[in-house]
């Protein structure tokens, strides 16, 4: 799988196709608008976000006890619990369950954790093929690509691309781009895998300490279909997926899909508590750097994330650079604050892939201060020596500007004049944002100037 | 040290000072002038169809009029023995099921979902593998929001249960909505009362 090293270079590649970039941008903005409409149907929306945020804060402040609670209750329900300190151990646990049972027919529904751990690649190297059953994930799997978005895995593709891919792999009619026809082809193809599957892997949206059960949300029904036909169900969860009580699910299920796609809830919000008779159920609880992130006061609340992708859809940089330019399993603003924790050197570019406009923090259903963390990561990365000179200059300048509000006002007005008079000066090589980007047209007066005039 | 012990020790060491859980005040939640109207409008918006029957007998009459040539499974009035044998049927044999009928335990007005637990499903794969799904629900079992839903049902009482909202769907190809992804291609909700 391609691993493009640097966000800026990869983004440059993405935006070469201008109509496609525009389409990507507009489509995701449309999803963002659907989120707004859904949020506005609930007068308690802001309070709901606050509850979500506080439940997560509370859980993180007592995480070890909730994890142990969850384990005890899940085991009492007949579920087997495994603990993995990193991606390697996670993959090995799953591999062992597969080989112990000599299974060959394995299906997997969407799990960003298994992407983070590169489970598919690990198993392929051992000669084991896993079939991804989410439609978008199946499409990118056929194309040997990674998902470009955590909720909409194939959002970087057009229907013509899907049609070509299906023609090649599923023998669909050449040139038939009808989404209905293509979806039907995938349904038939995956049905065969489902009814014969021996082992099903799923992610976990929420794990409830009090009940020892967990919830998986899908629209397609692929998780339920896979699990309920297979002899073994393995659910993979990052340890931050815990919530204290079942009643808290109300808060998160209300927030999740409204934030993600604007739907009031996913088609299936399935609660798994016990294996069915004759079935085995396993849960792999994964750390992989999360306990370290928990110890970083500035960054720990990134662990509150419920993976709704609202911050992706609203982000002007994500929308115009595409998910693959982030070169990590979780892209977008949240990926940019999670990934440096996993590998500072490899992901040092990501906190810079942002305009710090703050839109991500405004839409986040659990109130993560994403843009502030992006800013703080920049400082950490510079101090640790992971950042190249151009970015340092840009950033040093910004640090000064933000620290001195009066300077900001002055520079703001200079900025406006500079763009008007000397566009080449701002659009120079020292401004890493310029390449392929049109600088915005300068407003004639700043809000503050305008406001002051209105007061007179 | 086992990974379990290692992870828990690190978490314990790194976790911040304990902060309290919020108090979820039900007085702040949305209220609907008419729960049933709200419920019906959301079900229709998410791709389901709603039918009203004054009594359970009216529904039964209607079901009996349906053409018989298709393979349908009606769990509504099954005997315990029938349920036991259905619970053991393999997915390969359920793949041909045209329509399956289930009785929902609760409906949620804010999102049009219906709670189905394992007892109602009889066989876990049936509500997802059937081509068309019919859910029967007593009108009086509709609550305003998910908060009320969790107050009314104890999810831990069942091995498996789902809030089911509309037919299965996907928009993974260019964001075009297609109904009938992996699960049922249609959902009928029959409200009784
Ligand atoms: S950071 Fe917030 S907005 Fe972004 S995916 Fe996570 S929960 Fe959603």
Helices and strands (H and E) in chain A: how many = 22, 10
Mutational pocket test of ligand 1: of A116, A205, A368, A369, the residue with most ligand atoms within 8 Å of the beta carbon: A368
Q: Which two tokens stand for residue B51?
A: 């039918």
Sign of the CA dihedral running A387, A392, A398, A400: positive
Is residue B93 assigned to a domain? Answer: yes
Chain B nearest-CA residue for A89: B3
Residues 25-44 of B with CB under 8 A from A: 28-30, 42
Q: A195 falls in which pLDDT band (50, 70, 90)? A: confident
Percentage of chain B lying above the pLDDT 70 cut: 100
Q: A46 falls in which pLDDT band (50, 70, 90)? A: very high
CATH code (residue B79) = 3.40.50.10420
User: Between chains, do B183 and A225 touch, taking CB under 8 Å as contact?
Assistant: yes
H or E segment at B63? helix B56-64
Q: Which two tokens stand for residue A74?
A: 């899940």
Q: A425 falls in which pLDDT band (50, 70, 90)? A: very low
Percentage of chain A lying above the pLDDT 90 cut: 77
Is residue B147 assigned to a domain? Answer: yes
Interface test with B, best of A159, A265, A281, A298 (most B CBs within 10 A): A265
d(CA A152, CA A168): 22
Chain A nearest-CA residue for B167: A267
Q: B65 falls in which pLDDT band (50, 70, 90)? A: confident
Q: Please report the pLDDT score of residue A449 as a whole number.
A: 58
Percentage of chain A lying above the pLDDT 70 cut: 84
Q: B32 falls in which pLDDT band (50, 70, 90)? A: very high
A4-20 pLDDT per residue, tens: 458 988 888 888 888 89
The mean per-residue pLDDT over the stretch B73-93 comes to: 94
Is residue B164 assigned to a domain? Answer: yes
Mutational pocket test of ligand 1: of A35, A310, A326, the residue with most ligand atoms within 8 Å of the beta carbon: A310
Residues of B with CB below 8 A from A179's CB?
Answer: 173-174, 176, 178
Q: Which fold has domain A63-291?
A: Rossmann fold (3.40.50)
Asked if residue A22 has pLDDT above 80, the reply is yes
Q: CA distances (Å), A368 to each of A112, A251, A252, A327, A329, in order?
A: 19, 16, 14, 22, 19
Contact by Cβ (8 Å): A4, A146: no
Contact by Cβ (8 Å): B118, B152: no
Interface test with A, best of B18, B95, B182 (most A CBs within 10 A): B182
d(CA B173, CA A186): 11
Residues of B with CB below 8 A from A35's CB?
Answer: none
Q: Please report the pLDDT score of residue A12 as a whole number.
A: 85
Mean confidence (pLDDT) of chain A: 87
Asked if residue A2 has pLDDT above 50, the reply is no
Q: Please report the pLDDT score of residue A452 as a whole number.
A: 59
A207-218 pLDDT per residue, tens: 999 999 999 999
Is residue B141 assigned to a domain? Answer: yes
Is residue B11 assigned to a domain? Answer: no
B47-58 pLDDT per residue, tens: 999 999 999 999
Asked if residue B60 has pLDDT above 90, the reply is yes
- Host domain of residue B83: 35-192
d(CA A284, CA A96): 12
CB contact B176 to A (< 8 Å): yes
* Domain spans, chain A: 7-33+309-387, 63-291, 404-454
pTM for the structure as a whole = 0.89
Q: Mind giving me the DSSP string for A341-398?
A: HH-TTTTTTGGGS-----HHHHH-TT---HHHHHHHHHHHHHHTT-S-HHHHHHHHHH
A365-401 pLDDT per residue, tens: 999 999 999 999 999 999 988 887 556 545 544 444 4
Give chain B's domain count: 1
Is residue B24 assigned to a domain? Answer: no
Asked if residue A411 has pLDDT above 90, the reply is no
Asked if residue A32 has pLDDT above 70, the reply is yes
Q: Please report the pLDDT score of residue A392 as a whole number.
A: 56
Q: How many CB pairs under 8 A join A and B?
A: 256
The mean per-residue pLDDT over the stretch A149-155 comes to: 95
Chain B nearest-CA residue for A290: B11
Helix ranges restricted to H, A270-323: 290-295, 310-314, 316-321
CA A223 to centroid of chain Cα atoms: 19
Nearest CA to ligand 1 atom 2: A364
Residues of A with CB below 8 A from B92's CB?
Answer: 195-196
Q: Please report the pLDDT score of residue A196 as a whole number.
A: 83
Q: What is the nearest CA distance from A381 to chain B, expressed in angstroms?
A: 21
Q: A444 falls in which pLDDT band (50, 70, 90)? A: low
A292-326 pLDDT per residue, tens: 999 999 999 999 999 999 999 999 999 999 999 99
Q: Please report the pLDDT score of residue A202 as a whole number.
A: 98
Nearest to A142 by CA among A154, A151, A152: A154
Burial category of A188 from C-beta neighbours within 10 Å (exposed 0-12, middle 13-18, buried 19 and up): exposed
Helix ranges restricted to H, A15-103: 18-40, 45-60, 63-76, 87-100
Interface test with A, best of B2, B5, B7, B45 (most A CBs within 10 A): B7
């Amino acid at each position: 799988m391609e691993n493009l090293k640097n966000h800026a270079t990869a983004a440059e590649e993405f935006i070469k196709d201008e109509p496609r970039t525009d389409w990507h941008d507009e489509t995701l903005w449309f999803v963002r608008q659907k989120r707004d409409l859904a949020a506005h149907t609930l007068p308690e929306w802001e309070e709901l976000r606050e509850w979500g945020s506080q439940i997560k804060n509370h859980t993180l402040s007592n995480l070890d006890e909730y994890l142990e609670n969850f384990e005890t209750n899940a085991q009492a329900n007949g579920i087997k619990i495994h603990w993995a300190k990193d991606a390697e151990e996670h993959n090995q646990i799953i591999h062992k369950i597969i080989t112990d049972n000599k299974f060959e027919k394995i299906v997997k529904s969407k799990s960003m954790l298994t992407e983070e751990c590169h489970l598919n690649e690990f198993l392929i190297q051992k000669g084991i093929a896993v079939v991804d059953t989410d439609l978008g994930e199946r499409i990118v799997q056929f194309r040997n690509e990674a998902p470009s978005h955590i909720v909409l895995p194939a959002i970087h593709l057009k229907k013509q691309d899907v049609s070509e891919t299906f023609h090649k792999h599923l023998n669909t009619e050449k040139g038939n781009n009808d989404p209905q026809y293509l979806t039907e082809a995938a349904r038939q193809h995956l049905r065969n895998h489902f009814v014969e599957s021996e082992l099903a892997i799923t992610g976990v949206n929420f794990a409830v300490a009090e009940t020892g059960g967990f919830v998986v949300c899908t629209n397609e029904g692929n998780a339920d279909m896979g699990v309920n036909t297979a002899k073994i169900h393995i659910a993979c969860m990052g340890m931050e997926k815990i919530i204290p009580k079942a009643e808290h699910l109300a808060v998160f299920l209300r927030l999740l899909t409204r934030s993600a796609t604007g739907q009031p809830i996913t088609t299936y919000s399935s609660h798994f508590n016990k294996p069915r008779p004759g079935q085995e159920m396993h849960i792999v609880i994964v750390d992989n750097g999360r306990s370290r992130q928990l110890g970083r006061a500035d960054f720990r609340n990134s662990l509150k994330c419920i993976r709704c992708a609202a911050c992706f859809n609203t982000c002007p940089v994500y929308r115009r650079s595409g998910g693959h330019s982030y070169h990590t399993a979780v892209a977008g603003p949240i990926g940019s604050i999670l990934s440096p924790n996993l590998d500072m050197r490899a992901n040092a570019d990501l906190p810079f892939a942002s305009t710090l406009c703050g839109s991500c923090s405004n839409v986040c259903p659990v109130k993560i201060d994403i843009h502030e963390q992006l800013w703080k990561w920049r400082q950490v990365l510079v101090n640790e020596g992971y950042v190249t000179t151009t970015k340092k200059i840009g950033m040093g300048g910004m640090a000064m500007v933000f620290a001195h509000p009066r300077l900001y006002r002055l520079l703001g007005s200079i900025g406006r004049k500079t763009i008007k008079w000397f566009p080449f000066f701002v659009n120079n090589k020292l401004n890493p944002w310029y390449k392929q980007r049109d600088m915005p047209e300068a407003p004639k007066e700043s809000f503050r100037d305008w406001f002051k005039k209105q007061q007179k | 040290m086992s990974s379990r012990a290692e992870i828990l020790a690190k978490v314990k060491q790194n976790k911040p000072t304990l902060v309290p859980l919020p108090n979820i005040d039900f007085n702040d939640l949305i209220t609907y002038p008419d729960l049933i109207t709200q419920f019906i409008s959301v079900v229709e918006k998410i791709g389901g169809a709603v039918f009203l029957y004054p009594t359970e007998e009216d529904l039964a009459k209607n079901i009996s009029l349906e053409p018989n040539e298709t393979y349908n499974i009606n769990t509504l009035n099954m005997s315990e023995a029938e349920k036991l044998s259905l619970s053991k049927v393999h997915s390969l044999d359920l793949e041909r099921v045209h329509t399956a009928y289930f009785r929902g335990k609760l409906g949620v007005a804010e999102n049009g979902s219906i709670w189905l637990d394992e007892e109602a499903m009889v066989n876990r794969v049936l509500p997802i593998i059937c081509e068309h799904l019919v859910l029967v629900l007593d009108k009086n079992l509709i609550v305003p929001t998910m908060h009320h839903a969790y107050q009314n049902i104890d999810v831990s009482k069942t091995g498996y249960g789902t809030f089911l909202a509309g037919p299965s769907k996907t928009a993974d190809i260019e964001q075009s909505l297609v109904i009938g992804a992996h699960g049922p291609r249609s959902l009928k909700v029959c409200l009784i009362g």
